[in-house]
């Protein structure tokens, strides 16, 4: 006997099948991937005006909304609301906050960032993520005050300032014109004491101002006067004749590196080398020289390699070819010529930050002496050290040569402060070092900021300055 299908039994089966189908269809819409909120640098404080950069990503159905609030006690204000128009997996946002103008007061507060996605979870409102960042609203600019006496600086020369900073100061130093030199805190038992090696660059206008600067955890910035005097001096100007042989040699060495537009003639290659390549090399040098730590790695007087001085610092060179001016440049070091392939000693103790073939400088070594001070050795025929290696004063770095933009065997020696080329002779002079560097620590009642066992680690990897609490 055949079974008879009864309609009243069929209906629930159809409903169950439909519901199952709906569930399979809706399942991905119930994904549980929570949006991810990331900040490159979480703000520790908020000053007068702030920008908070952050990113939100979602692995599933995409972002629905992103909101940022500032909260203090009972008061809450929305800083940002973002609703993407289409399915969005990732968004970079910037919230701005001017807490005092918005009626908040100085003191502890919370920054809240929330995001939700297009999942149907939580009764359709999506996966919610939230981060709460405790911070302080602090609009008081940091205080910074000179501790040492008057600082004398030669045009193109180096100088040191010793000063006192506030709690919460995160960055500080000396400003010369538009250039910022970074200061350090090398006295662990006196975390408010700070020093900054700076330079009055050879190309800085005479009327440029010099001052102390500081920035704190809330982004508040301050400037303070520095007692200083500039000793102006003039640098030599030279006319150099570039012969056909010289230009041919430069083309032979650099022609392959020059871009096609500059590689057409020996003259064009030389002009490219003397301007563009020089600039590229100086950027690389500044980058290598920025790897430094808060402690002084040198002591005594910097060593001068043996040899005759062939060219000085700051010389302005104008190049002529067949009576026509073809290029100009500044010589930012001292050339010392001794016997060919003579050993090149490290001028002072430090850490090798660069040892490579570097354009106009040929085989080139840079040694970091701490606190932003470094020395450069160019045109070497051979290099005997590697990056990261600790060297002592007098240690052989390589042999002199004529690589790069050099025709005869000589050593090109440069000194840099925060990547800015300075007059090297000051660092060869024990009286200058005593009167212009060490004396400022003495008169401030501070020891020479050497890396001591009590002061933490010695040379090696770049170190961050101790944080000021
Ligand atoms: Zn030179």
Q: Which residue has the tokens 């090398």?
A: 186
**What strands, in cross-sheet order, belong to the sheet with 63-72?**
45-46, 128-137, 107-117, 63-72, 75-82
Half-sphere exposure of 386 (CA within 13 A, CB side): 0
- Above 90 in pLDDT, residue 25? no
Quick one: which of 225, 265, 223 has its CA closest to 242? 265
Query: For residue 3, what pLDDT is reported?
Result: 58
DSSP H helical segments within 223-358, as ranges?
244-254, 266-272, 278-289
CA–CA separation, 436 vs 199, rounded Å? 12
Taking residues 254-258, report their average pLDDT.
92
The first and second tokens of residue 214, run together, are: 């500081």
Q: How far is CA 32 from CA 21, 117, 121, 243, in A?
A: 20, 10, 7, 74
Model confidence over 341-391: pLDDT tens digits? 999 999 999 999 999 999 999 999 999 999 999 999 999 999 999 999 999
Is the pLDDT confidence value at 115 over 50? yes
CATH code for the structural domain at 144-233+434-443: 2.60.40.10
Judge contact between 69 and 95, C-beta under 8 A. no
| Range with lowest mean pLDDT among 10-24, 49-63, 399-413 | 10-24
Query: From ligand 1's centre to the CA of 426, what distance in Å?
Result: 17
State the distance from the centre of ligand 1 to the C-alpha of 344, rounded, in angstroms.
14
Token pair listed for 423: 């007059």
Burial class (CB in 10 A: 0-12, 13-18, 19+), 170: middle
What per-residue string of b and e applies to 378-391 under the rule 16 or more CB within 10 Å gives b? bbbbebbbeeebeb
pLDDT tens for 31-60 read 888 899 999 888 888 998 899 999 999 988
pLDDT, tens digit, 9 for 90 and up, residues 409-436: 999 999 999 999 999 999 999 999 999 9
Residue ranges per domain, the chain?
35-137, 144-233+434-443, 266-425
Q: How would residue 231 be classed by pLDDT, with cut points 50, 70 and 90?
A: very high
307 with 359: CB under 8 angstroms? no
How many angstroms separate the alpha carbon of residue 122 from the centre of ligand 1?
Answer: 71
Q: Give the separation between CA 66 and CA 127, rounded to whole angstroms.
A: 12
Any idea which architecture 35-137 has in CATH? Sandwich (2.60)
CB atoms inside a 10 Å sphere around CB 461 = 9
- Which of the pair, 14 or 211, is modelled with greater confidence? 211
Residue 258 Cα, ligand 1 centroid: separation in angstroms? 21
Going from the Cα of 334 to the center of ligand 1, the distance in angstroms, rounded, reads 6
Predicted confidence (pLDDT) at residue 174 exceeds the cutoff of 90: yes
Question: Same topology for domains 35-137 and 266-425, yes or no?
Answer: no
Ligand 1 centroid – CA 467 distance (Å): 39
Structure tokens at 378: 């160019």
CATH class, domain 266-425, is mainly beta
Tell me the CA–centroid distance for residue 90 and ligand 1, in Å.
Answer: 51
Q: How far is CA 110 from CA 104, 114, 295, in A?
A: 11, 13, 37
> In 91-118, which positions are buried (b, 16+ CB within 10 angstroms) versus exposed (e)?
bebebebebeeeebeeeebebbbbbbbb
**If you measure from the C-alpha of residue 153 to the centroid of ligand 1, how many angstroms do you get, rounded to a whole number?**
24
pLDDT band at 468 (very low <50, low <70, confident <90, very high): very low
pLDDT at 385: 98
More confident position, 173 or 453: 173
Q: What's the mean pLDDT in 220-225?
A: 94
pLDDT confidence of 4, banded at 50, 70, 90? low
């Amino acid at each position: 006997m055949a079974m008879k299908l009864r309609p009243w039994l069929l209906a629930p089966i159809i409903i169950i099948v439909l519901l199952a189908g709906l569930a399979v269809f809706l399942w991905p819409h119930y994904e549980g991937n929570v949006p991810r909120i990331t900040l490159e640098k979480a703000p520790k404080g908020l000053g007068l005006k702030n920008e908070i950069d952050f990113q939100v990503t979602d692995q599933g159905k995409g972002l629905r909304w992103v909101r940022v609030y500032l909260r203090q006690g009972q008061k809450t204000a929305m800083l940002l609301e973002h609703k993407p128009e289409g399915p969005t997996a990732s968004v970079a946002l910037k919230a701005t906050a001017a807490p005092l103008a918005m009626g908040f007061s100085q003191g502890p507060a919370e920054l809240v960032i929330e995001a939700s996605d297009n999942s149907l979870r939580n009764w359709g409102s999506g996966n919610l993520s939230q981060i709460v960042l405790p911070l302080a609203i602090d609009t008081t600019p940091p205080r910074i005050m000179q501790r040492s006496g008057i600082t004398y600086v030669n045009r193109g020369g180096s100088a040191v300032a010793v000063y006192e900073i506030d709690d919460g100061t995160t960055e500080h130093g000396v400003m010369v014109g538009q250039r910022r030199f970074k200061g350090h805190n090398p006295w662990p038992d006196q975390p408010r004491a700070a020093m900054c090696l700076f330079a009055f660059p050879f190309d800085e206008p005479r009327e440029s101002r010099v001052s102390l600067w500081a920035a704190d955890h809330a982004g508040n910035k301050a400037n303070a006067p520095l007692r200083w005097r500039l000793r102006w001096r003039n640098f030599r100007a030279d006319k150099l004749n570039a012969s056909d042989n010289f230009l041919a040699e430069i083309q032979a060495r650099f022609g392959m590196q020059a871009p096609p537009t500059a590689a057409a003639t020996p003259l064009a290659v030389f002009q490219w080398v003397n301007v563009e390549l020089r600039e590229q090399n100086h950027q690389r040098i500044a980058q290598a020289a920025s790897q430094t730590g808060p402690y002084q790695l040198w002591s005594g007087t910097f060593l001068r390699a043996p040899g005759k001085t062939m060219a000085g610092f700051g010389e302005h060179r104008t190049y002529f070819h067949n009576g026509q001016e073809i290029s100009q440049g500044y010589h930012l070091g001292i050339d010392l010529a001794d016997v060919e392939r003579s050993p090149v000693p490290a001028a002072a103790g430090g850490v090798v930050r660069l040892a490579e073939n570097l354009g106009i400088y040929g085989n080139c070594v840079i040694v970091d002496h701490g606190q932003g001070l470094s020395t450069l050795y160019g045109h070497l025929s051979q290099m005997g050290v590697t990056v990261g290696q600790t060297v002592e004063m007098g240690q052989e770095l390589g042999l002199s040569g004529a690589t790069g933009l050099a025709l005869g065997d000589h050593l090109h020696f440069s000194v840099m402060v925060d990547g800015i080329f300075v007059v090297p002779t000051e660092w060869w002079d024990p009286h200058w070092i005593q009167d212009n560097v060490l004396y400022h620590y003495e008169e401030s009642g501070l020891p020479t900021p050497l890396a001591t066992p009590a002061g933490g680690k010695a040379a090696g990897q770049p170190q961050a300055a101790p944080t000021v609490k």
